[in-house]
């Protein structure tokens, strides 16, 4: 199995006629994703290859069953796109766009939550269940079907970790980039809960970074509610004091969010933390015995 998406997931692309939307829509189709439509206001009735384009998400929902939407629009339009998908009742909304103001995301988060829907992102690479479905920008060629779940705040680190897992013989059930902003739609804890419930995920990799307190919250969840082995990695451990990091969420405040605090929390929960991404398969082997 997998979490959130599978081979039956029907996907729409908001911003499908733009440069990024069209490129990644074609890539997702090539990787086996069932894209049933796209949305660009004012371009309804057109097509991208064989994919019909609609003016609104609601129009698309009337014509096709939709399980998920992925958003490729400029930052100034992204909040409106999230809310449009939520208003139409799309169960899973993935926002790839970066640069959304924090104050907008606070409002967006509650807007989606009140409707009982799920948001992943913004500023994320999306997710993939290898061999079944890809939503976003992850390179499918480095992934392999299997039973290891992966959750990450960083897109490129996800790729490096997945490459090392695949070349070491560990396939993945689902890989999820939750995004690197201070306010995101789904947390480590949200995803850990889903992986814990998935019978075909037998272990999980958590890829965190300095800043924020999400990793500490994840460690508490793992300690008290996870039965499956978990391996961690924290990026930014060698960042000089005062160095500004790339992700908006990589902010250390009041002594919280430091690498040492996160590693200590993981270790207290029985989670070994790799010093380098290529050490993760070795730690996973020790945790799982396979």
pLDDT tens for 239-273 read 556 555 555 545 545 555 688 899 999 999 999 99
Reply yes or no on whether the pLDDT at 183 is more than 80.
Answer: yes
Give residue 210's pLDDT: 83
Q: Is residue 15 part of a domain?
A: yes
Q: Is residue 166 part of a domain?
A: yes
Give residue 26's pLDDT: 98
DSSP type of residue 17: T
pLDDT tens for 120-166 read 999 999 999 999 999 999 999 999 999 999 999 988 899 999 999 99
- 247 or 229: which carries more pLDDT confidence? 229
Same domain, yes or no: 277 and 206:
yes
Band the pLDDT of 202: cuts 50, 70, 90: very high
Give residue 30's pLDDT: 97
Same domain, yes or no: 148 and 272:
yes
Band the pLDDT of 190: cuts 50, 70, 90: very high
Q: Is residue 175 part of a domain?
A: yes
- Region 211-222: mean pLDDT is 93
Same domain, yes or no: 183 and 107:
no
0.85 surpassed by pTM: yes
Last residue of a domain, one of 89, 120, 151: 120
Same domain, yes or no: 171 and 232:
yes
Reply yes or no on whether the pLDDT at 60 is more than 80.
Answer: yes
Q: Is residue 56 part of a domain?
A: yes
Distances (CA, A) of 173 to 55, 165, 178, 221, 255: 34, 12, 16, 20, 35
Same domain, yes or no: 276 and 161:
yes
Give residue 64's pLDDT: 84
Reply yes or no on whether the pLDDT at 75 is more than 90.
Answer: yes
Q: Is residue 130 part of a domain?
A: no
Residue 241 and residue 188 in contact, taking contact as beta carbons nearer than 8 Å? no
Tell me how crowded residue 245 is: count the other CB atoms within 10 A of its CB: 16
Q: Is residue 110 part of a domain?
A: yes
Give residue 255's pLDDT: 55
Same domain, yes or no: 180 and 273:
yes
pLDDT tens for 47-57 read 999 999 999 99
Same domain, yes or no: 31 and 99:
yes
Reply yes or no on whether the pLDDT at 68 is more than 80.
Answer: yes
Same domain, yes or no: 68 and 173:
no
Nearest-Å Rg of the Cα atoms of the chain is 18
DSSP type of residue 213: S
Same domain, yes or no: 195 and 280:
yes
Q: Is residue 257 part of a domain?
A: yes
CATH of the domain at 191: 3.40.50.261
Same domain, yes or no: 152 and 256:
yes
Same domain, yes or no: 159 and 215:
yes
Residue 173 and residue 196 in contact, taking contact as beta carbons nearer than 8 Å? no
Residue found by looking up tokens 């103001």 in the block: 101
E runs forming strands in the chain:
10-14, 34-39, 47-48, 51-54, 68-71, 92-95, 118-120, 126-129, 133-136, 145-152, 172-177, 203-209, 230-235, 273-274
* Domain around 259: 143-288
Q: How many independent structural domains does the chain possess?
A: 2
CATH of the domain at 105: 3.40.50.720
Same domain, yes or no: 114 and 227:
no
Q: Is residue 96 part of a domain?
A: yes
Strand bridging mode 133-136 / 126-129: antiparallel
Positions marked catalytic = 247
Q: Following DSSP, what letter does each residue of 261-282 receive, concatenated?
A: HHHHHHHHTT--EESSGGGHHH
């Amino acid at each position: 199995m997998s979490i959130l998406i599978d081979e039956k997931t029907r996907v729409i692309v908001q911003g499908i006629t733009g440069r990024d939307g069209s490129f990644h829509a074609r890539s997702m189709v090539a990787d086996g994703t069932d894209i049933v439509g796209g949305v660009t206001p004012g371009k309804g009735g057109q097509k991208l290859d064989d994919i019909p384009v609609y003016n609104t998400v609601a129009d698309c929902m009337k014509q096709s069953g939709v399980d998920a939407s992925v958003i490729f629009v400029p930052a100034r339009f992204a909040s409106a796109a999230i809310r449009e998908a939520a208003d139409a009742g799309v169960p899973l909304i993935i926002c790839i766009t970066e640069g959304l103001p924090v104050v907008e995301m606070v409002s967006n988060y509650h807007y989606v939550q009140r409707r009982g829907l799920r948001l992943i992102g913004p500023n994320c690479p999306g997710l993939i269940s290898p061999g079944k479905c890809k939503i976003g920008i992850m390179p499918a060629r480095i992934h392999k079907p299997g039973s290891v779940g992966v959750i990450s705040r960083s897109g490129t680190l996800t790729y490096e970790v997945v490459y090392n897992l695949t070349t070491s013989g560990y396939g993945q059930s689902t890989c999820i980039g939750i995004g690197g902003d201070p306010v995101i739609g789904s947390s480590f804890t949200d995803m850990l809960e889903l992986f814990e419930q998935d019978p075909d995920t037998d272990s999980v990799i958590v890829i965190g970074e300095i800043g924020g307190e999400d990793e500490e919250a994840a460690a508490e969840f793992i300690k008290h509610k996870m039965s499956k082995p978990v391996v961690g990695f924290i990026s930014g451990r060698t960042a000089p004091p005062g160095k500004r990091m790339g992700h908006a969420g990589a902010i250390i405040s009041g002594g919280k969010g430091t690498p040492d605090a996160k590693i200590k929390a993981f270790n207290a929960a029985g989670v070994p933390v790799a010093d380098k991404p290529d050490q993760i398969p070795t730690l996973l082997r020790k945790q799982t015995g396979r």
